[in-house]
């Protein structure tokens, strides 16, 4: 496999949906991971889970991230993702959430390298490259990322993404980039470093300090897809442009919302077997609700952002939000940069 994913958008449940993946790729991300989907739910044919793998017609590279702890489910889910058009599969071995860890999934797999290895082998049986996204370890006393990564490589992993925090840390404290460097030195497959990249300089520093092959941006892309263009610019020796002016940020936020509503409507109408007005309205409300946080992140740093967020939180249609934000741009944001 040739590896050309230097700048990568992280998988983020509720955020890295298809509409946002298309946007970050248009801004220069070389690869955008999909939100994690349950291998077990795929195996049981759960419709909402299948909808989460919204990869039909997505531009290459298409990567589906699976989570699970059963090799049988993993093998089956891999074939389903492949049939839907996935070109790469990733197995989530970093999720710290209790309800995931309790099932032996996500970061719990770092405590069971043999089961983790068998999941890689099971997923890879379909023939697609399989990567692993992991943490530095379970807790400070069990920072086994180096041996774990070597075990994943031996099991057939095509590349690795490592978030330099333990499960115990969740998202607190500072990511340990030294362990990313240690993993990079210890394996022969490509390594993507992850943790605390909030601007283009951070990305450059991680590449230099760890020797990793690619950098993955998570929270730093929330409401800021332009971070990928900035990183690309800095890597090319150019000056990054930063976020555009308020009018352009609002235009992007509205385009994002519009596309997310469109995709959600198609999915809900298909699921319900109906495309009447009530179903479409329900889909729009669901999509608006699920994007409220994201809209708030786009508005970060703008004048009266808190008040705008408060108003958005009681609106439920594209039209209402577009009118609010367009009025705001016309009245207050004449050419300013957030």
Ligand X SMILES: Cc1cc2nc3c(=O)[nH]c(=O)nc-3n(C[C@H](O)[C@H](O)[C@H](O)COP(=O)(O)O)c2cc1C
Closest distance of CB 171 from ligand X, Å: 6
* 37-38/31-32 β-pairing: unpaired
Applying CB under 6 A, among 12, 19, 86, 291 the residue interacting with ligand X is 12
Classify residue 239 as left (phi > 0), alpha (psi -120 to 50) or beta. beta
Q: Does residue 13 interact with ligand X by CB under 6 A?
A: yes
- For residue 239, how many other CB atoms are within 10 A of its CB? 9
- 218 contacts ligand X (rule: CB under 6 A): yes
Rounded Cα–Cα distance for residues 296 and 309 (Å): 6
Q: Are strands 130-137 and 191-194 parallel, antiparallel or unpaired?
A: unpaired
Based on the shown chain and the rule CB under 6 A, indicate whether residue 219 belongs to the binding site for ligand X: yes
Q: Least distance to ligand X from the beta carbon of 310, Å? A: 21
**Contact present, 306 and 328 (Cβ < 8 Å):** no
Residue 10 in the binding site for ligand X (CB under 6 A): yes
Smallest separation, CB 135 to ligand X (Å): 8
- Of the ranges 72-80, 190-198, 246-254, 280-288, which one interacts with ligand X (CB under 6 A)? 190-198
Closest CA to 299 of 265, 277, 329: 329
Cis omega (within 30 of 0) for bond into 61: yes
Tell me if residue 212 is catalytic: no
**Residue placing its CB nearer to ligand X in the complex, 222 or 261:** 222
User: Which of 68, 113, 195, 223: binder of ligand X (CB under 6 A)?
Assistant: 195
Query: Whose structure tokens read 């969740």?
Result: 170
Q: Of 236, 263, 249, give the one whose Cα is nearest residue 302.
A: 249
Q: Is residue 276 helix, strand or coil?
A: coil
Contacts (CB under 6 A) with ligand X, residues 138-177: 163, 171, 175
Q: What is the DSSP letter of 132?
A: E
68 binds ligand X (CB under 6 A): no
Give the separation between CA 316 and CA 269, rounded to whole angstroms. 18
Cα distance between residue 55 and residue 143, in whole Å: 35
Instruction: Work out whether 196 is an interface residue with ligand X (CB under 6 A).
Output: yes
Smallest gap from Cβ 283 to ligand X, in A, equals 22
Does position 202 interact with ligand X (CB under 6 A)? The reply is no
Segment near ligand X (CB under 6 A); pick from 71-79, 91-99, 117-125, 141-149: 91-99
Q: Kindly state the smallest distance separating residue 277's Cβ from ligand X, in Å.
A: 33
Whichever of 13 and 115 has its CB closer to ligand X, that residue is 13
Q: Which residues are identified as catalytic?
A: 95
Binding site for ligand X (CB under 6 A): 10-13, 15, 35-36, 65, 92, 94-95, 133, 163, 171, 175, 194-197, 217-220
């Amino acid at each position: 496999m040739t590896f050309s994913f230097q700048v990568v958008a992280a998988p983020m449940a509720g955020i890295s949906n298809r509409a946002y993946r298309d946007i970050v790729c248009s801004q220069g991300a070389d690869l955008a991971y999909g939100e994690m989907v349950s291998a077990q739910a795929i195996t049981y044919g759960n419709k909402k889970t299948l909808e989460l793998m919204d990869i039909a017609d997505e531009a290459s590279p298409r990567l589906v991230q699976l989570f699970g702890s059963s090799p049988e489910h993993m093998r089956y889910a891999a074939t389903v993702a492949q049939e839907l058009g996935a070109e790469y599969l990733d197995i989530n071995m970093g999720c710290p959430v209790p309800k995931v860890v309790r099932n032996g999934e996500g970061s719990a797999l770092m405590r069971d390298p043999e089961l983790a290895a068998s999941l890689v082998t099971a997923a890879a049986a379909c023939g697609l490259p399989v990567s692993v996204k992991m943490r530095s370890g379970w807790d400070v006393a069990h920072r086994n990322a180096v041996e774990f990564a070597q075990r994943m490589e031996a099991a057939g992993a095509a590349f690795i993404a490592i978030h330099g925090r333990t499960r115990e840390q969740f998202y607190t404290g500072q990511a340990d980039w030294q362990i990313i460097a240690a993993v990079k030195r210890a394996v022969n497959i490509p390594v993507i470093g992850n943790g605390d990249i909030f601007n283009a300089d951070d990305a450059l520093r991680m590449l230099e300090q760890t020797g990793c092959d690619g950098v993955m941006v998570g929270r730093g892309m929330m409401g800021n897809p332009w971070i990928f263009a900035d990183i690309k610019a800095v890597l090319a020796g150019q000056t990054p442009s930063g976020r555009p002016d308020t009018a352009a940020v609002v235009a992007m936020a509205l385009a994002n919302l519009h596309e997310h509503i469109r995709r959600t409507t198609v999915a809900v109408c298909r699921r319900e077997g109906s495309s009447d007005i009530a179903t479409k309205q329900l889909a729009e409300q669901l999509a608006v609700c699920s994007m409220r946080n994201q809209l708030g992140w786009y508005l970060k740093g703008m004048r009266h952002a808190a008040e705008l967020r408060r108003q958005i939180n009681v609106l439920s249609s594209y039209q209402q939000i577009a009118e609010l934000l367009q009025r705001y741009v016309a009245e207050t944001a004449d050419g300013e940069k957030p």
